[in-house]
Amino acid sequence: MSSASITVAVIKGDGIGPDVTDAATAAIDAAVAALGLGAVTYREIKAGAGVFKETGRDIEPGGDERAGQADAILLGAIGLPSVRQKDGTEITPHLRLREIYQLYAGVRPVRAYPNGPQRLADPRARDIDLIILRESTEGLFYSAAIHGRAEVIGDTEVRETLRITRATTEKLHTFAFNLARKRKARRGKALVTCVDKANVFESMAFFRRIFDEVAEGFPDIETGRNYVDAQALDLIRQPWAFDILVMENMFGDIISDLGGGLVGGMGMASCAEIGDDAGLFQPAHGSAPDIAGQDKANPLAAILSGGLLLDYLAEKLDRPELADAGLLIDDAVYRGFYERLIDPMEFGGTMGTRDVAATVCRLIGEPETRDFQRNH
């Protein structure tokens, strides 16, 4: 079966969204071509603050449904500072997609690349390689997923609901341990740490209790537990000591940005949002409209998200060769930093969006890039 049968819904969105999405699709195309896997079909869907400003809708008619009909969804960036709902909140069609398709597992890799920005002086910071696993449909974002769930009491009070369910939390923790087994097979070790506030909130104690229950079924995986405030401190003190951190939605939203800052910035922050039947992939950064279309954005978060998309499709479609294509993207980025061939403007370098993307695509096509990380 060729990759011609693969369809990806593409939502370029706002600001630098189109810039980085084009870079991501170019890298995906280069990776499948390098391994002789055919081609990927992209189906664009208009959505975002710009669409809302023009039409009063945050996504084109039928867009929600068509996104779910594809094998995966690739999103650039959503939002413009000047465009808001009447209550002042942002335009967020992607939050609705999370809810509709129950994309409960938010995978946020945090990885230091050789010769990339190193924010911590300790040499062990060169070895940061962890994943923040953020539950993406419940928690404190529950009220925001479908607009209007907040309880507004006149002009004096607003109440938001934090929701933790057993069904979703069991799936999240099981996802974490299965991911740990995959990482252990590749790295020889794995650790899953539950991050919560179980000493204060009953909902968080419930979250931790389910973690402990699920952990019993994975005796081969080491476990840890940490309160979220202590975890924030530990990510500054010793981020190299962690592997997979699993947590509630709002905690994950904050901690994942901290993680991105440790390895250079949000321009390196790739993201996968995965459910039982659908997956959405996007850079975790914002739309940065002040540099949109100026060839200044760092496209690496989007490119690395493209690698996550291919890895996801390998399992969803039972096509392991697509995982090799995803790894090839990561190998190309790793080699680019290792050989100092990638120098994004975000890090004070000279390379714009197009040059970074072109370099990654060129490296993807070179045979010596395959298994580069393993060999170095």
What is the rounded average pLDDT of the residues 26-39? Answer: 95
Strand 151-153, strand 157-159: pairing: antiparallel
Structure tokens at 165: 């369910």
User: Helix 17-34 and helix 321-338: axis angle, to 10°?
Assistant: 110
Q: What is the pLDDT of residues 286-313, one digit of tens each?
A: 999 999 999 999 999 999 999 999 999 9
Question: What are the E-state strand segments in 61-155?
Answer: 72-77, 105-111, 129-135, 151-153
Q: How many C-beta neighbours within 10 Å does residue 136 have?
A: 27
Give pLDDT, residue 1.
40
Give pLDDT, residue 86.
86
Structure tokens at 338: 């290792």
Give pLDDT, residue 89.
84
Q: pLDDT-derived band of residue 159, with 50, 70 and 90 as boundaries?
A: confident
Give pLDDT, residue 146.
53
Distance of CA 190 to the CA centre of its chain: 20
Domains of the chain, each with CATH number or no CATH: 1-103+274-376 (3.40.718.10), 118-262 (3.40.718.10)
Any idea what DSSP says for residue 291? Answer: G
Q: Helical H runs in 118-248?
A: 142-145, 166-187, 202-215, 228-237
Q: How far apart are CA 182 and CA 193, in angstroms?
A: 16
Q: How far apart are CA 270 and CA 48, in angstroms?
A: 19
Give pLDDT, residue 149.
73
Place of tokens 């946020």: 108
Structure tokens at 90: 């942002």
Q: Helical H runs in the chain?
A: 17-34, 49-55, 63-69, 93-100, 142-145, 166-187, 202-215, 228-237, 249-262, 300-316, 321-338, 353-364, 372-375
Q: pLDDT-derived band of residue 158, with 50, 70 and 90 as boundaries?
A: confident
Residue 265, pLDDT above cutoff 90: no
Residue 179, pLDDT above cutoff 90: yes
Q: How many C-beta neighbours within 10 Å does residue 239 have?
A: 24
Q: pLDDT-derived band of residue 3, with 50, 70 and 90 as boundaries?
A: very low
Q: How far apart are CA 282 and CA 328, in angstroms?
A: 18
Q: What is the pLDDT of residues 83-134, one digit of tens each?
A: 998 888 888 899 899 989 999 999 999 999 999 988 898 999 999 999 999 9
Q: What is the pLDDT of residues 351-375, one digit of tens each?
A: 999 999 999 999 999 999 999 998 8
Mean pLDDT for the chain overall: 94
Give pLDDT, residue 2.
47
Q: How far apart are CA 96 and CA 99, in angstroms?
A: 5
Q: Which residue has the higher pLDDT, 2 or 155?
A: 155
CB 158 within 8 Å of CB 149: no
Q: pLDDT-derived band of residue 152, with 50, 70 and 90 as boundaries?
A: confident
Share of the chain above pLDDT 90, in %: 85
Give pLDDT, residue 58.
95
In terms of Cα–Cα distance, which of 193, 198, 208 is closest to 242?
A: 193
Give pLDDT, residue 145.
56
Q: What is the pLDDT of residues 205-235, one digit of tens each?
A: 999 999 999 999 999 999 999 999 999 999 9
Give pLDDT, residue 148.
57
Q: How far apart are CA 73 and CA 11, in angstroms?
A: 8
Residue 57, pLDDT above cutoff 50: yes
What is the rounded average pLDDT of the residues 309-328? Answer: 96
Write the burial class of residue 20 (CB in 10 Å: 0-12 exposed, 13-18 middle, 19+ buried).
buried
In terms of Cα–Cα distance, which of 99, 112, 87 is closest to 163?
A: 99
Residue 202, pLDDT above cutoff 90: yes
Give pLDDT, residue 347.
92
Structure tokens at 372: 């580069």
What is the rounded average pLDDT of the residues 331-344? Answer: 97
Q: How far apart are CA 33 and CA 325, in angstroms?
A: 9
CB 219 within 8 Å of CB 272: no
Residue 161, pLDDT above cutoff 90: no
What is the rounded average pLDDT of the residues 322-337? Answer: 97
In terms of Cα–Cα distance, which of 40, 50, 55, 43 is closest to 17?
A: 50
